Amino acid sequence: MSFLSAVKNTDGAVFEKYCARMLKRLGYKRVRLTKQSGDNGADILCRKGMKKYAIQCKRQERNVSNKAVQEAHSGKGFYDCDVAVVLTNSAFTEAAKGAAEKLGVILWDGEELKKMSWLAFGPSAGKVVKHMAESRVQNGLRIMITIVIAVIIIFITLLVLKHFSVI
């Protein structure tokens, strides 16, 4: 499976986590994810040298529009950053490229993402994405199993208490 195919088979949250991990491996410091919704235009905040970055991640099949550029520009201001970036597995529309040039937003497309991933993880970049996506599914299953077991224990406890006429 190619790297970009592996990315397409994830969701936005896994993509953001992957990008944060990649940036750490590339020497960015203080890399942190913002909250999932209401992120104010940035999914990842980090530093490189003396610059603070606000990065808007877009994992999608179609070209990224200028809305993402506007979000990144807004995130730069909201989080008091020096640099705004839109990072995608795809490409950018002409309108996005124009807005980025006017607003000073850096665009990292799918080809740039592949290069960065190669530098960070080498040929195993696709496996890293796939593993992160599988881990997310496994964590979800663990939570569901824990909840089911808790419900069963409560049910058995109630049956025992009822049997001994405590309830």
The CATH number of the domain holding residue 7 is 3.40.1350.10
Q: 92 with 113: CB under 8 angstroms?
A: no
pLDDT reported for residue 37: 73
- 85-101: average pLDDT: 96
Say if 47 falls within a structural domain.
yes
Say if 102 falls within a structural domain.
yes
- Confidence (pTM): 0.73
Say if 131 falls within a structural domain.
yes
Say if 160 falls within a structural domain.
no
Angstrom distance (rounded) from CA 15 to CA 33: 11
pLDDT tens readout for residues 139-164: 566 667 778 888 888 888 888 887 77
Say if 155 falls within a structural domain.
no
pLDDT reported for residue 9: 67
Question: What is the number of structural domains in the chain?
Answer: 1
Angstrom distance (rounded) from CA 88 to CA 111: 9
pLDDT tens readout for residues 117-142: 888 877 665 555 555 555 555 556 66
Angstrom distance (rounded) from CA 109 to CA 114: 9
Q: Residue with structure tokens 């990224």? A: 64
Say if 152 falls within a structural domain.
no
Q: What percent of the chain has pLDDT over 70?
A: 80
- What is the number of other CB atoms lying within 10 angstroms of the CB of residue 101? 11
Angstrom distance (rounded) from CA 107 to CA 96: 9
Angstrom distance (rounded) from CA 151 to CA 103: 54
Domain range for 20 is 3-141
pLDDT tens readout for residues 2-31: 666 666 767 778 889 889 989 999 999 999
Say if 167 falls within a structural domain.
no
What integer best gives the mean pLDDT of the chain? 84
Say if 165 falls within a structural domain.
no
